[in-house]
């Protein structure tokens, strides 16, 4: 959580433990702290609201207060789930949040706590992040390889955002001393079913994707139908399909073989 090359694992320092956070930041005295910790099990959060708020709200506040005491800047990542998805256009920074899930509510609480903490804080809202590890493209590819039926919702839209591009933008913004709330997402918005088809196309896997409405795939937590973001403060990242192509070439091709 302390920045490139010096990140701490959950085992080394949990953000919900104020004393661990204070000790870690006091020892390292970083210029910038990047908070990549989050409780993002969206459906499970409906039954584990206390844990969700501990990690997504109280934990970031612990970081913000420790940063304030040590003269560090905090970069905190948030989500498009702070919106209800009812808007007909992409959401910008000045739109009023209205979360419809415990996860979204806990992330919004975290945003507000750190921004009101008095620390130097940059909150970056982003959406549908993919990178190394388990994510939407890897899950689609795994299901296709296993011969599973691919039923993917068609009425929810997002900006698929490459973690590599997001990280670079976060470094640039922090390096420029930008504070407050900024949306940082890939250029372009797409539905999850078309996203799935793009993943399969990039790796050359022929598997049918069945488009279904959200109502046909019930989940514990509600999702915003319109999860698209735009920014009034930052240029969009490169187009999502261009980023996906690079990611597929660098990461996904080996999984498809």
pLDDT digits (tens, 9 = 90+) for 216-243: 999 999 999 999 999 999 999 999 999 9
Spans of the chain below 50 pLDDT: 1-4
Instruction: Give the angle 159-44-243 at the CA atoms, nearest 5°.
Output: 20
Q: How far apart are the first and last CA of the chain?
A: 34
pLDDT digits (tens, 9 = 90+) for 191-218: 999 999 999 999 999 999 999 999 999 9
Give the Cα separation of 160 and 95 in Å (integer).
20
Provide CB contacts within 8 A for 153, sequence distance 6+: 191, 192, 193, 211, 212, 213, 214, 216, 217
Give the Cα separation of 90 and 230 in Å (integer).
6
- Examine the residue annotation and report whether 103 is marked as an active-site residue of this protein: yes
Provide CB contacts within 8 A for 11, sequence distance 6+: none
Instruction: Give the angle 235-241-247 at the CA atoms, nearest 5°.
Output: 100
Output the pLDDT for position 1: 46
Alpha helices, DSSP H, located in 4-157: 18-28, 49-53, 59-70, 102-115, 136-145
- Specify the CATH superfamily of domain 18-256: NAD(P)-binding Rossmann-like Domain (3.40.50.720)
Alpha helices, DSSP H, located in 71-226: 102-115, 136-145, 163-175, 192-203
Output the pLDDT for position 139: 96
Output the pLDDT for position 6: 56
Give the Cα separation of 249 and 199 in Å (integer).
11
- Cut 0.85: pTM above it: yes
The residue assigned the tokens 């990047």 is 34
Catalytic-role residue among 103, 162, 195, 247: 103
Strand partners of residue 33: 74
Output the pLDDT for position 252: 79
């Amino acid at each position: 959580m302390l920045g490139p090359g010096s990140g701490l694992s959950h085992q080394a320092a949990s953000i919900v433990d104020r004393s661990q956070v204070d000790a870690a930041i006091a020892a390292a005295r970083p210029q910038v702290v990047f908070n990549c910790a989050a409780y993002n099990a969206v459906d499970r959060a409906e039954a584990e609201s206390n844990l969700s708020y501990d990690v997504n709200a109280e934990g970031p506040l612990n970081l913000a207060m420790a940063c304030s005491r040590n003269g560090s800047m905090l970069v905190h990542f948030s989500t498009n789930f702070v919106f209800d998805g009812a808007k007909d256009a992409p959401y910008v920074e000045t739109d009023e949040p209205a979360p419809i899930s415990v996860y979204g509510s806990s992330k919004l609480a975290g945003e507000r706590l750190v921004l009101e903490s008095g620390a130097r804080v940059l909150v970056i809202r982003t959406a549908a992040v993919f990178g190394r590890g388990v994510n939407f493209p890897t899950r689609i590819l795994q299901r296709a390889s296993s011969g599973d039926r691919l039923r993917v919702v068609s009425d929810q839209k997002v900006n698929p955002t490459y973690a590599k591009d997001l990280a670079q933008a976060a470094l640039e913004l922090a390096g420029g001393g930008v504070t407050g709330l900024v949306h940082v997402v890939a250029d372009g918005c797409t539905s999850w079913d078309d996203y799935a088809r793009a993943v399969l196309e990039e790796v050359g896997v022929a598997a049918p994707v069945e488009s279904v409405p959200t109502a046909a795939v019930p989940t514990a937590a509600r999702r915003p139908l319109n999860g698209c973001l735009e920014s009034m403060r930052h240029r969009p990242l490169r187009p999502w399909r261009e980023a996906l192509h690079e990611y597929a070439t660098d990461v996904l091709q080996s999984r498809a073989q």
